[in-house]
Every structure is written in structure tokens, then in C-alpha cells.
Amino acid sequence: MMNIAIFCSGNGSNFQAIVDASKSGLFDANIALMVCDSKKADAIERAASEEIKTLVLDIKDFDSKVSYEAEIIKALEKHNIDLICLAGYMRLLLPSFINKYKNRILNIHPALLPSFKGMHAIKDALSYGVKQTGVTVHFVNEDMDTGPIILQEPIIIEDSDTEKRLTAKIHELEHRLYPRCIKLFLEGKVKIEGRTVRILP
Ligand code: GRF
């Protein structure tokens, strides 16, 4: 069975959705570890209630990002992690890290990439006035929010949508899309061809 590590920085609602999907039998994998870069993240509490091991680190306790990530890698190796799912992890990974886990790191982004990259994607889409936005799950490469796209699903923006309402709709979609994507990956149905990802039947 494959071992998954989920990286969080905050609320952890996607972490929860992945755990719930796994518990419901949507896919067959072991969620072996939650890695968190903030001692204040609600995700820590969630992992504790699910009895999932956590590694909580503060980058300020390390002299470099290399040594901070070395600590993470040590834990990933200890738990034989096959797949890393970034779920609201607000930190870029070093190229050396990404290379080590090449094509085995996924991320979820609350917009239709390549539109609205970055930290404020929902707000940015609203203020730009686009009529549709959505959710993207993609492989992580060395640049932010640019890796090969695995799944994408749109959401219509209604005139009545406030940031809060749209955020709720996006999260609801994220919680369905991320587990689906993990299932496809675990079943070996996700094939990368250059920058295009093909989903096998
Ligand atoms: C999500 O909107 C995700 O797309 C983005 O960060 C947010 C994390 O939310 N990368 P949560 O911590 O999973 O609730």
C-alpha cells in the first residue's frame, strides 16, 4: 500500500477531505504523516483527532531552508512516503526537494491555472471580474503554480457571489477534486507527457 504525506500550513480542510475519502474507501492508501510549518495551524488538531502522525516545524528554528527541509525528508524517508500532497502549504519547496520526489508531489490551487497564481487567487479572480474560476490539481515543479495540470474544474461566478460565498464554493469543489485526483494517481492512471497530463481510462 502506498504511503501519503500531506503538507499543511493552516485550516487543513483539504487534509480532512483526503482523510475522510481514505476512510470511506475511495482509495487504498495509508495517510502516514502530516507535515506542518506552523505551530498554530488547525490542521494539527485535525491530525491528532485522526491519530495521524504529525511533524510540526518552524523554519525559524533552523539555520537554513536546506536544513529545515532535510528534517522533513528524514521523516518522509522514515515513513516510506510515496506521494506528497500539498494542501494549503504556504511555502515553496527547494528544487532539490522537488527533484527528490519528482512527479510525486501534488498541489491544489483555488483557481483555473494559469490564471490567478499566488496566494490570493479567489480574491484576485473576483476583483478581476472573471465570470468563471475554479480549482486545479497539478504536479509541483520548481516554479510556483506552474506544474503539469492533472484535473481542473470550473465554477461560475454569480453576480451575488461575495468573497466568502465564492470561497465556500471553491472549498466544496476542492474537497471533491483532490481525493479524486489522488485516487487516479494511486491507480497509476495519471501519465505525464511533457507538460500535458493524460488520464488513462
Ligand atoms: C485551499 O484553498 C487550497 O487551494 C490552497 O490553500 C487553501 C487551503 O485550505 N492551496 P485548507 O487549509 O485545506 O482548508
The tens place of each residue's pLDDT in the chain, 201 residues long, gives 999 999 999 999 999 999 999 999 999 999 999 999 999 999 999 999 999 999 999 999 999 999 999 999 999 999 999 999 999 999 999 999 999 999 999 999 999 999 999 999 999 999 999 999 999 999 999 999 999 999 999 999 999 999 999 999 999 999 999 999 999 999 999 999 999 999 999
- What is the per-residue pLDDT for 52? 98
How many CA atoms lie less than 13 Å away from 198 in the CB half-sphere? 5
Pairing of β 196-199 and β 2-8? unpaired
Residues 6+ apart with CB under 8 A from 137: 106, 107, 108, 109, 149, 150, 151, 152, 177, 178, 181
Whether ligand 1 lies within 6 angstroms of the CB of 134 is answered as no
| Closest C-alpha residue for ligand 1 atom 7 | 88
* CB of 49 closer than 8 Å to CB of 15: no
Question: In which residue are the cell numbers 477531505 written?
Answer: 17
> According to the CATH classification, is domain 2-199 in 3.50.50.60?
no
| Closest C-alpha residue for ligand 1 atom 9 | 88
Q: Which long-range contacts (CB under 8 A, 24 or more apart) does 120-125 make?
A: 122/163, 122/166, 122/167, 122/170, 123/163, 125/157, 125/166
Distance of CA 121 to the CA centre of its chain: 15
Distance in Å, CA 9 to ligand 1 centroid: 9
Sign of the dihedral through C-alpha 148, 150, 156, 160: negative
Whether ligand 1 lies within 6 angstroms of the CB of 179 is answered as no
Distance in Å, CA 112 to ligand 1 centroid: 14
Distance in Å, CA 87 to ligand 1 centroid: 6
Neighbour tally for 81: CB within 10 Å: 21
Q: pTM for this one?
A: 0.97
Domain boundaries of the chain, sorted by first residue: 2-199
